Structure 1
Amino acid sequence: MNTRTIVIVGTGQAGGWAAQTVRKEGFAGKVFLIGEEPHRPYERPPLSKAVLSGDASAESTCLINMEAFEKLGLDWRPNVRVTSIDRVGRQVLLSTGEPIGYDKLILCNGGRARTMNIPGADLPGLFTLRNIDDARALGAVLLPGRKIVVVGGGWIGLEVAATARKKEMDVTVVEAMTRLCERTVPSEISEYLSRLHSKYGTRVILGTGVAAFARNAAGMVVVSLSDGRELVCDAVVVGIGLIPNDELARDAGLECDGGVVVDAQCRTSDPDILAAGDVAAWHCSWGGRRMRLESWQNAQEQGIAAGRSALGIEVDHQPLPWFWSDQYDTNLQIYGMPDRSHRVVVRGDLQSDSFVLFYLDGDKVRSAMGPNAARDLRFARRLIESRKSVDPNLLADTRVAMSKV
């Protein structure tokens, strides 16, 4: 009889895949799956798109159906928080007061939406979007003809803006930096995104912060900008990033640096504690630096890797970073991590709806990105992973198929 116990903290995508993986690999011991939400493990990307628009149900985001979930034989603890980790006693303490011992502990407790510390930030009518309940609450106010202000011109803000415009709302995006998604993409992509949102009628205000929120006599939300302007709307969505939930690990004395630090085997500074998903910070060999990767791909793959590693199976989690975003009729994808030292090669017309930017280190492709170019980007991924030498002139020539580069 297997008396070993694995405790998984977090019931998002990473935690769900870790739980499935340990069972798939034949682990017959006790598996606890502990999460603060009432929902079974689910995927987050649809929340800002199909679920928010009402085109898909929240239940459609679940990783596995209830029957398959029950067959995993997990001790599932919804609506419960882990309050502390006792590394010496090898147990976690739950918010219910119950201690649970572990042989291996996997932290998949993700992150939380960053909020604003300004006057009026706690007023009704302000929303963040991180989980199913957030999507349901926000979806209820996305009605045709209403006005909404999105604070933050990053990925979550732009996806919400696109969904709101599809719902025929009046949408304004306010971004404190000088261009959209400035922290994650080059100016060519930022300019494309600005054109895209303008095309669909979204107003974009750049280089301007928000000073305060208030409510007027009519019950509308008043957004006071740093330049003195005021925007009046029915609702506000604050999409200014994510804070990793690494406090539990910090309090337990684990190494943290912008997240819980893990190695390629998903192990923390305590070999019996692993971490995966949005909370985990790891050294990316493709970018040459430590990072957290807030993506669907990493939540799944690192969750699988952590589950396998917890069982003593050798893993080497070093995936090529991949990120995608759907906005209006556009699918934008990014492979790899561009660097300012890389040479940029453009394939296609930057003013069109489809092009690819390649980032070359010498004659090797290190990163590629672009809108509505899924086929070319699949070949670009192969070039990056194979480290094949390429001719920049062939990359740029749209008359040459990517398969021939």
Structure 2
Amino acid sequence: MTEQRESAGADRPASRHVDFLLVGGGLASAVAAQTLRAEGATGSIVILSAEDVPPYHHPPLSKHLLTGTEGEARIFVHPESFYGEHRIELALGARVVGVDTAKQTVTTARGEEIGYGQLLIATGATPKPLTVPGASLPGVFSLRRKTDADAIRAAITQAKHAVVLGGSFLGMEIAMSLLDAGLKVTIIEQGPVLLRHLEAPDLSSYFERYAEGRGATVILNDTAAVLRGRERVQEVETAAGRHVACDLVVVSIGVAPATDFLAGSAIALEGGYVVVDALLRTSAPNVFAAGDVTTFYDPVFARRRHIEHWDNAVKQGRLAARNMMGRRLRYDEVSYFFCEVGDIGFNVLGATEEADARVARGALDQGSFALFYLKGDVPRALFSVGRPADETRVAEGLIRYRVGLGDVKERLHEDAFVLDRIPTQ
């Protein structure tokens, strides 16, 4: 692997120029670098990563890596040999602290100034911090990086009762993994339901019962007010006055884009996210962005969105690379993500928040279930567990092309009704 670590030499490192400079050591950068070479790019490619390990997949962090049931090597996007074989320099421990779009340079925390021909911003997101007394006690964690998963896995061996703050997709995955590890688990969710982004009270209730059936205690409409402990966390006191004994807390209350280093640059931000156009270009010449860090115009839903999921990072990383080479390809994808809550793996297409009605097919407790989210008679999203690939493919077309179902809407609930009879264009 062509790998380089920054050193704090006595003199300021000499400036250099890179044809394709990728800031961020995550999935979007790894896919972009791979795509550049696959598309015939011959210039220099450098990935600047603030982390000390090569790019890796994030989904296993909350599942197999957390419980130690899957080998660490399987989480990496590419094998170690990939980078050297494809003449990609991977600079680890290289945190970028500034971008000068007029000079077309970036500056690292070590003071190195690097010029670029084309720049990709793909720094991802960081966990929102818990801002209550005691949040910095030992035994309190968030989960975003491999080092976080490693630290939580080590803490599990000494823990008995964990509290997970947040009943989001990530929070639920973490909670189930902690149960699998043999811990007593309490989930505290500020809102009235778990998995609120599903926008489906019946689904949220199902997963609440499922979590409780696995042994978790679920507390809704409450949040941590104080964390207490002497040498490490021992208790969570909630806003409602509950006292939950624990020796491990994992905070999962959302993420924010990692864009602090862009403050004062000419790269436009919106709510902290990098604003990109349909080609994933930023407001600055020769600067692109991809993945969790972007706010982009979604033509399927005719509005700006930001999506912090694996599939979006892959697709935007690939498209940004092609456009960095001079192509003019537009980002036009039906958003998709997957989640595993215990032994229930599900997929979501589209935007669940756009619906005013929902139609179910199949039975969730039998492992084959779909929930169509409709706006009028137009499908806007799909939740599915164990459904045929053809059904998902048809649903994606219905969502993409905003196909009105008409009278077919009345038959959508019939599991025997074959969806491929519906024209998708």
What secondary structure sits across from 1:32 in the alignment?
A: strand
With over 3 angstroms needed to count, the CA separation of the structure-2 counterparts of 1:370 and 1:233, relative to structure 1, is same
Count the aligned residue pairs.
402
Contact 1:261–1:268 at 8 Å: present in 2 too?
Answer: yes
Contact 1:127–1:237 at 8 Å: present in 2 too?
Answer: yes
Aligned to 2:94: 80
Superposed displacement of residue 287, structure 1: 2.5
**Residue of structure 1 aligned with 2:155, choices 96, 121, 141:** 141
Q: Does 1:239 align with 2:256?
A: no
Which whole-Å CA distance do the structure 2 matches of 1:105 and 1:360 have between them?
A: 40
Superposed displacement of residue 193, structure 1: 1.5
Segments of 5+ residues of structure 2 without an aligned counterpart are: 1-16
Aligned to 1:228: 241
Give the structure-2-normalised TM-score: 0.89
Note the alpha carbon deviations across 1:264-286, whole angstroms, 9 max, x for none. 11100113111001101101122
What secondary structure sits across from 2:202 in the alignment?
A: helix
User: 2:160 corresponds to which letter in structure 1?
Assistant: R
> How do 1:2-401 residues align onto structure 2 when only pairs under 5 Å count?
5-143=19-157, 146-216=160-230, 221-258=234-271, 259-349=273-363, 353-373=367-387, 375=389, 376-390=391-405, 391-401=408-418
Superposed displacement of residue 346, structure 1: 1.8
Which whole-Å CA distance do the structure 1 matches of 2:298 and 2:342 have between them?
A: 31
Contact 2:83–2:89 at 8 Å: present in 1 too?
Answer: no
Superposed displacement of residue 7, structure 1: 0.8
Contact 1:144–1:168 at 8 Å: present in 2 too?
Answer: no
Superposed displacement of residue 249, structure 1: 2.6
Note the alpha carbon deviations across 1:94-124, whole angstroms, 9 max, x for none. 1121111111110000111111111011110
With over 3 angstroms needed to count, the CA separation of the structure-2 counterparts of 1:138 and 1:48, relative to structure 1, is same
Give the structure-1-normalised TM-score: 0.94
Contact 1:264–1:316 at 8 Å: present in 2 too?
Answer: yes
Which whole-Å CA distance do the structure 2 matches of 1:113 and 1:18 have between them?
A: 24
With over 3 angstroms needed to count, the CA separation of the structure-2 counterparts of 1:340 and 1:105, relative to structure 1, is closer
What secondary structure sits across from 1:141 in the alignment?
A: helix
What secondary structure sits across from 1:399 in the alignment?
A: coil
Note the alpha carbon deviations across 1:198-251, whole angstroms, 9 max, x for none. 12111110000110111158x552111111111111100001111101222332
Superposed displacement of residue 330, structure 1: 0.3
User: 1:239 corresponds to which letter in structure 2?
Assistant: S
With over 3 angstroms needed to count, the CA separation of the structure-2 counterparts of 1:290 and 1:387, relative to structure 1, is closer
What secondary structure sits across from 2:319 in the alignment?
A: helix
Which whole-Å CA distance do the structure 1 matches of 2:213 and 2:127 have between them?
A: 29
Contact 2:57–2:75 at 8 Å: present in 1 too?
Answer: yes
Contact 2:369–2:384 at 8 Å: present in 1 too?
Answer: yes
Contact 1:192–1:351 at 8 Å: present in 2 too?
Answer: no
Note the alpha carbon deviations across 1:163-222, whole angstroms, 9 max, x for none. 1111121000001111112245322221121122112111110000110111158x5521
With over 3 angstroms needed to count, the CA separation of the structure-2 counterparts of 1:184 and 1:361, relative to structure 1, is closer
Superposed displacement of residue 311, structure 1: 0.8
Segments of 5+ residues of structure 1 without an aligned counterpart are: none
User: 1:394 corresponds to which letter in structure 2?
Assistant: R
Q: Give aligned-pair identity as a percent.
A: 31
Superposed displacement of residue 385, structure 1: 3.3
Contact 2:60–2:75 at 8 Å: present in 1 too?
Answer: yes
Contact 2:97–2:109 at 8 Å: present in 1 too?
Answer: yes
Which whole-Å CA distance do the structure 2 matches of 1:8 and 1:160 have between them?
A: 30
Which whole-Å CA distance do the structure 2 matches of 1:220 and 1:261 have between them?
A: 40
